[in-house]
């Protein structure tokens, strides 16, 4: 019996970047089933500032960490008001990992984030105010200490003040002394606030 030689099965692979790379095509690729396609689309959209809304929309529901990283990198590269506003939206997400990733992204945009820091620190959601203080940690802005002083003088939420006083312990100067003393008076029954304020005062006095 003659042996029929089987033809090898050809593996077809699609180079995702050979698809349409114009703005509509890239936005459509953000919804592709293949994470690699979504990741390349997110990267290539860095040349399209008008894609911010689509990127943010995808970021809110994206489960693949590499795709989220690509989207956040693109939003950081774009870095305009719309991109920053989209990142702020994601601070309100219930996804803890996403919030942390967004905080790290916003730390890379000190000049862009600084103009809205006052709004973030006055947000009605105390969690957002805490996230704003976390962003201040790496913002490297001349008003960081002033913003933190304002928080411990005016914010009524103890957790927000606790986060702020921790950072003041690292960046505070003699300008923070009176605010730190007043903070202890505002929360006299909270041992952590008193401890952190005393620690910050000790460091300032030693400098």
Residue 20: both structure tokens together: 């349409």
* pLDDT, tens only, 165-182: 999 999 999 999 999 999
For residue 36, how far is the Cα from the chain centroid?
Answer: 23
pLDDT of residue 206: 82
Q: Is the pLDDT of residue 7 over 60?
A: no
Average pLDDT over every residue of 58-86: 96
Pick the CATH number of 19-108 from 1.10.150.110, 3.30.70.940, 1.25.40.290, 3.40.50.460: 1.25.40.290
50/22: higher pLDDT? 50
pLDDT of residue 139: 84
- Three-state DSSP at 95 gives coil
Q: Is the pLDDT of residue 49 over 90?
A: yes
For residue 42, how far is the Cα from the chain centroid?
Answer: 17
Stated as kind and residue range, the H or E segment containing 21 is: none
Backbone angles phi, psi at 106, to 5 degrees: -70, -25
Which of the 8 DSSP states describes residue 189? T
What is the distance between the alpha carbons of residues 151 and 136, in angstroms, rounded to a whole number?
12
* pLDDT, tens only, 155-166: 999 999 999 999
Q: Where are the domains of the chain?
A: 19-108, 111-207
Name which of 3-7, 34-38, 168-172 the model is least confident about. 3-7
């Amino acid at each position: 019996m003659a042996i029929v030689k089987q033809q090898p099965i050809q593996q077809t692979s699609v180079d995702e970047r050979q698809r349409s790379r114009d703005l509509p095509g890239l936005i459509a690729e953000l919804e592709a089933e293949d994470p690699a396609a979504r990741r390349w689309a997110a990267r290539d959209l860095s040349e399209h500032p008008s894609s911010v809304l689509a990127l943010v929309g995808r970021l809110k529901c994206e489960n693949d960490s590499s795709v989220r990283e690509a989207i956040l990198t693109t939003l950081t590269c774009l870095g305009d008001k719309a991109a920053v506003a989209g990142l702020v939206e994601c601070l309100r997400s219930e996804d803890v990992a996403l919030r942390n990733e967004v905080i790290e992204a916003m730390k890379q945009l000190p000049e862009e984030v600084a103009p809205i820091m006052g709004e973030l620190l006055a947000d009605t959601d105390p969690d957002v105010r805490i996230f704003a203080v976390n962003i201040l940690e790496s913002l490297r802005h001349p008003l960081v200490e002033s913003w933190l002083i304002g928080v411990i003088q005016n914010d009524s939420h103890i957790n927000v003040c606790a986060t702020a006083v921790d950072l003041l312990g690292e960046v505070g100067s003699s300008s923070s002394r009176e605010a730190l003393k007043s903070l202890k008076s505002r929360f006299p029954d909270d041992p952590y606030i008193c401890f952190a304020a005393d620690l910050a005062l000790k460091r300032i006095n030693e400098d």
